[in-house]
């Protein structure tokens, strides 16, 4: 059964969504991310994905207080990403209650550092962020494209011990145009051992059902929730 992971993206302490990672295309959905997280837990969700968009832009954690507020007020298993560039950032996230951290840019810019963290903290605590645009990994809040093709990038870190990968197709993110199913199928066909978390484009419950049929282990979704395109009670009843 596919793992359902609602998302909370944070700018200035507010719950927001961007379109294709564009900070100029920001929509605020709620002033209190803690209240949103509590609502998710009340519905029956057990996991939460938090992105510190201020942190992604600033290249260091900014919204750790919001993270702490959520983990203090709920029993959700939280994975946290955005702006994690140093071991101090990792420790700050864990101290604020994150169960896992998502790291993407450092894995591109400093592979040895990332592998060192993987060894220190263990593969169950780190999620490799693989944000993709035109088949290539994108970094630093999606503002820069690297020269790393997706599949070889994943192979390098699977060989180093990575088991959790969050893969976002940037062209789909926040568009409500459906997820990049073919991309995720290709990843799973090559690396069936991965706990792959699909991200970007989910617009309705049927999108999640399609990902489940294709054997994708987990899905992150946010905008479809906030735009009320998914009946969360029905989703939890049927899939959760």
Q: Name the token pair of 62.
A: 């900014």
Residues found in the chain: 240
Q: Name the token pair of 40.
A: 């998710």
d(CA 191, CA 152): 11
Torsion of CA 102, 112, 57, 71, to 10 degrees: 30
Active-site entry in 9, 64, 79, 89: 9
How far apart, in Å, are the Cα atoms of 3 and each of 45, 84, 122, 124?
Answer: 10, 24, 21, 16
Residue 9 C-beta-side C-alpha neighbours within 13 Å: 26
The verdict on whether 9 is a catalytic residue reads yes
Active-site entry in 54, 131, 173, 207: 131
The verdict on whether 39 is a catalytic residue reads no
Of the candidates 109, 160, 150, 147, the one whose C-alpha atom is nearest the C-alpha of residue 130 is: 150
d(CA 226, CA 204): 12
Q: If 0-12 CB within 10 Å is exposed, 13-18 middle and 19+ buried, where does residue 88 land?
A: exposed
Q: Name the token pair of 28.
A: 């605020």
Point out the residues that are catalytic: 9, 131
């Amino acid at each position: 059964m596919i793992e359902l992971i609602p998302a909370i993206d944070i700018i200035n302490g507010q719950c927001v969504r961007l379109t294709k990672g564009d900070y100029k295309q920001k929509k605020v959905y709620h002033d209190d991310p803690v209240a949103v997280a509590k609502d998710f837990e009340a519905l029956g969700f057990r996991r939460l994905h938090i992105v510190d968009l201020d942190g992604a832009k600033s290249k260091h954690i900014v919204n750790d207080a919001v993270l702490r507020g959520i983990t203090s007020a709920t029993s959700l298993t939280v994975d946290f990403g955005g702006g994690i560039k140093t071991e101090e950032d990792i420790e700050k996230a864990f101290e604020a209650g994150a169960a896992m951290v998502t790291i993407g840019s450092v894995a591109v810019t400093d592979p040895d550092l990332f592998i060192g963290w993987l060894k220190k903290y263990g593969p169950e605590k780190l999620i490799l962020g693989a944000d993709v645009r035109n088949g290539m990994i994108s970094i630093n809040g999606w503002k820069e494209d690297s020269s790393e093709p997706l599949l070889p990038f994943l192979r390098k870190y699977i060989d180093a011990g990575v088991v959790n990968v969050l893969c976002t197709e940037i062209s789909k993110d926040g568009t409500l145009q459906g997820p990049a199913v073919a991309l995720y199928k290709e990843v799973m066909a090559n690396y069936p051992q991965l706990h792959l978390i699909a991200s970007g484009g989910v617009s309705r419950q049927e999108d999640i059902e399609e990902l489940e049929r294709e054997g994708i282990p987990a899905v992150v979704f946010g905008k479809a929730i906030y735009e009320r395109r998914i009946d969360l009670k029905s989703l939890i009843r049927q899939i959760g």
